[in-house]
Amino acid sequence: MALMTGEQYIESIRKLNTRIYMFGKQIPNAVDDPILRPSLNSVKMTYDLAQDPEYQELMTTTSHLTGKKINRFCHIHQSTKDLILKVKMQRLCGQKTAACFQRCVGMDAFNAVYATAYETDQAHGTHYFDNFKKYMEYVQEADLVVDGAMTDPKGDRGLAPHAQADEDLFLHVVERRPDGVVVRGAKAHQTGASNSHEILVMPTQAMKPEDKDYAIAFSVPIDAEGIFMIVGRQSCDTRKLEDGTMDRGNPCFGGMEALVIFDNVFVPNDRIFLNGESEFATGLVERFASYHRQSYGGCKVGVGDVLIGAAAVAADQNGVPKASHVKDKLIEMIHLNETLYSCGLACSSNGWQTAAGNYMVDTLLANVCKQNVTRFPYEIARLAEDIAGGIMVTCPSEADLNDPELGPYVEKYLQGVASVPTRDRLKIMRLIENLTLGTAAVGYRTESLHGAGSPQAQRIMISRQGDLAGKKALAKNIVGIE
Ligand code: SF4
Ligand code: FE
């Protein structure tokens, strides 16, 4: 098949027996649920755009494994150009959905596992790289969405995995069999879990030899026996259950996260990509984290484009597009957003080839990229709220606007410039609310802080790679200190 259409993707998700729980109840699937459907629509966009002749170069490429045309989200990067096109693709998807489109976690996991499996085999004579290449051929041919799963619940952050009071707080092997292993544990904050075909699990942090049962990477179908998920609540999520669409802010698209639980799940040998070689956990984690920190220089920029556009429309609707302070705020928002994009492009341009042959981002610059993402979207959101005005959080509901008696008053008193229908003005207010405080705030605001690792995780990487000793030597050299 190699390229699914958006509709084929939706039907493929409907066919799975994924166990999804939300608000204390099991739901039949993600396709027909009004709260989850917008998140599925966001992933569908990654298929729809790949069918569009205008976006072929960004959205599709040629598999180095099969020579066939594939979706770029299933690609193993073969050059720095691939890394750059990845970021551009993510900006495009962010612009089209104004939400998290979820498919990047799999792409970033593919590239991290690919390089690490090769190096583990070189050191240990294992066969993880062959396993993984076969797996990638399957993923590319079937055009699958894979949830790249890294974050364990972690319990007491001061204790190693094996030293936790509850041994399941890090996902681990509980049984070794001739044909595979059985694992137990959970992965938290799993982006797009209900919209995925597969889940690709990696360790969450550096591991010591005592933690070897926790140093495991593998993939299983998302509906494998023993896996279930509990969907995370989002601000304003139940607005999707109401009549009308205006109050949702973003009527069609959204993101989703879940706590995915592995309750004694069997993993066959050919789906194992790391198993006890604890010294390779660090590299795998750092690679995945760096790829995903690069990703944020694309996706958050695309969503930022929508937010800047919404703020500019709000200024037009309020009759103040020419006010110098409004113009300056919009310039500042663009400046901040393009700075993030520059970081995403820079760490891609400075990429390098791994021993396995795929391309890795410049990890220092990728971490600088994400560190900026922990700050700039907050300032962009603040400026958008500044331009929008307080009405973005005080305006009446769509039901009031539609009410035969109340509606005319809402229309009359919430009017901006006379030529703009009040409904259009309120739609833009709800969109800004959605991006800064509502369901999409998960993807744009708080995820900018914690997604792909919290700010401190980047600062650790920056301190390790910033070459302070080299910088000191430069200073001493200038003044002639030995
Ligand atoms: Fe992709 Fe961004 Fe969502 Fe991560 S947060 S999965 S990079 S859209
Ligand atoms: Fe994310």
pLDDT digits (tens, 9 = 90+) for 316-330: 999 999 999 999 999
- Ligand 1 atom closest to the CA of 300, numbered from 1: 2
As given in the structure block, the two tokens for residue 185 are: 């544990």
Report CA dihedral (466, 342, 438, 309) to the nearest 10 degrees: 160
Q: 482: buried, middle or exposed (CB in 10 Å: 19+, 13-18, 0-12)?
A: exposed
What is the distance between the alpha carbons of residues 386 and 479, in angstroms, rounded to a whole number? 48
pLDDT one-digit tens code per residue, 10-46: 999 999 999 999 999 999 989 999 999 999 999 999 9
Ligand 1 atom showing the smallest separation from residue 101 Cα: 8
State percent of the chain over pLDDT 90: 98
Q: Has residue 370 got a pLDDT over 90?
A: yes
Q: Which of 104, 194, 303, 445 to mutate to test the pocket of ligand 1 (most atoms within 8 A of CB)?
A: 104
Mean pLDDT of all residues in 299-304: 98
pLDDT over threshold 80, residue 441: no
In this prediction, residue 367 has a pLDDT band, given cuts at 50, 70 and 90, of very high
Closest CA to 60 of 84, 35, 36, 89: 89
Q: How far apart are CA 132 and CA 273, in angstroms?
A: 6
Q: Residue 66 is encoded by which pair of tokens?
A: 């099969």
How far does Cα 426 stand from its chain's mean position?
A: 29
Give pLDDT tens digits for 76-132.
Answer: 999 999 999 999 999 999 999 999 999 999 999 999 999 999 999 999 999 999 999
Residue 451 alpha carbon, nearest atom of ligand 1:
5
pLDDT in tens, 43-83: 999 999 999 999 999 999 999 999 999 999 999 999 999 99
Euclidean distance between CA atoms 35 and 234, whole angstroms: 10
What is the token pair recorded at 95? Answer: 């612009």
* Active-site position among 9, 55, 77, 100: 100
CA of 252 to the centre of ligand 1 (A): 17
Calculate how far, in angstroms, residue 193's C-alpha sits from the geometric centre of ligand 2: 12
Compute the distance from residue 26 Cα to the ligand 1 centre, in Å: 26
Q: pLDDT tens digit string along 220-270? A: 999 999 999 999 999 999 999 999 999 999 999 999 999 999 999 999 999
Catalytic status, residue 447: yes
Candidate list 204, 292, 341, 359, residue with the active-site label: 292
Segment 210-228 shows an average pLDDT of 98
List ligand 1's pocket residues with C-beta within 6 A: 100-102, 104-105, 191, 295-296, 299, 443, 447, 451
Number of residues written out for the chain: 482
What is the C-alpha separation between 408 and 415, in angstroms, rounded? 11
In this structure, the dihedral spanned by the alpha carbons of residues 405, 406, 409 and 410, taken in order and rounded to 10 degrees, is -140
336: number of Cβ within 10 Å = 20
Question: What's the confidence (pLDDT) of residue 2?
Answer: 86
Tell me the percentage of the chain whose pLDDT exceeds 70. 100
The mean pLDDT of the chain is 97
User: CA 253, CA 235: separation in Å to the nearest integer?
Assistant: 15
Residue nearest (by alpha carbon) to ligand 1 atom 3: 100
Structure tokens at 36: 């989850």
Whole-number pLDDT of residue 438: 84
Q: What is the 3-state secondary structure (H, E, C) of the chain?
A: CCCCCHHHHHHHHHCCCCCEEECCEEECCCCCCCCCHHHHHHHHHHHHHHHCHHHHHHHEEECCCCCCEEEHHHCCCCCHHHHHHHHHHHHHHHHHHCCCCCCHHHHHHHHHHHHHHHHHHHHHCCCHHHHHHHHHHHHHHHCCCEEEECCCCCCCCCCCHHHCCCHHHCCEEEEEECCEEEEEEEEEEEECHHHCCEEEECCCCCCCHHHHHHCEEEEEECCCCCEEEEECCCCCHHHHHCCCCHHHCCCCCCCCEEEEEEEEEEEEHHHEEEECCHHHHHHHHHHHHHHHHHHHHHHHHHHHHHHHHHHHHHHHHHCCCCCHHHHHHHHHHHHHHHHHHHHHHHHHHCCEECCCCCEECCHHHHHHHHHHHCCHHHHHHHHHHHHHCCHHHHCCCHHHHHCCCCHHHHHHHCCCCCCCCHHHHHHHHHHHHHHHCCCCHHHHHHHHHHCCCCHHHHHHHHHHHCCHHHHHHHHHHHHCCC
Candidate list 18, 61, 172, 257, residue with the active-site label: 257
Q: Whose CA is nearest to atom 8 of ligand 1?
A: 100
pTM comes to 0.97
Is 100 annotated in the active site? yes
Residue 290 near residue 360, CB atoms below 8 Å: yes
User: Residues 382-411: pLDDT tens digits?
Assistant: 999 999 999 999 999 999 999 999 999 999
Active site residue: 80, 120, 191, 363, which one? 191
* Ligand having the closest approach to the CA of 443: 1
Does the pLDDT value for residue 1 go beyond 80?
no
Report residue 157's pLDDT band, with 50, 70 and 90 as the boundaries: very high
In the chain the first and final C-alpha atoms are separated, in Å, by: 65
Q: Can you say whether residue 24 is alpha, beta or left, with left for phi > 0 and alpha for psi between -120 and 50 degrees? A: left
Gap between the Cα atoms of 41 and 250, Å rounded: 12
Residue 190 CA, ligand 2 centroid: distance in Å: 9
Residue 198, both tokens: 């597969």
pLDDT confidence of residue 400: 98
In this structure, are residues 385 and 441 in contact, taking their beta carbons and an 8 Å threshold? no
252 CB burial (10 A radius; 0-12, 13-18, 19+): middle
Calculate mean pLDDT across residues 360-389.
Answer: 98
Q: Is 292 a catalytic residue?
A: yes
Q: Distance, CA 78 to ligand 1 centroid (Å)?
A: 21
Residue nearest to atom 2 of ligand 1 (CA): 299
Contact between 312 and 358 under an 8 Å Cβ cutoff? The reply is no
Which ligand is located closest to the Cα atom of residue 102?
A: 1
CB atoms within 10 A of CB 28: 11
Rounded to an integer, what is the distance from CA 280 to the centroid of its chain?
A: 24
Rg (CA), the chain: 23
198 in catalytic set:
no
Active site residue 338: no
**Which of 39, 92, 102, 370 gets mutated to test ligand 1 (max ligand atoms within 8 A of its CB)?**
102
User: What distance in angstroms lies between residue 301's CA and the mean position of ligand 2's atoms?
Assistant: 13
**Residue 91, CA distances (Å) to 63, 112, 296, 297 in order:** 22, 21, 9, 8
Distance 105 CA to ligand 1 centre (A): 7
pLDDT number for residue 409: 98
Q: Report the Cα 129 to chain-centroid distance in Å.
A: 25
What pLDDT does residue 456 have? 96
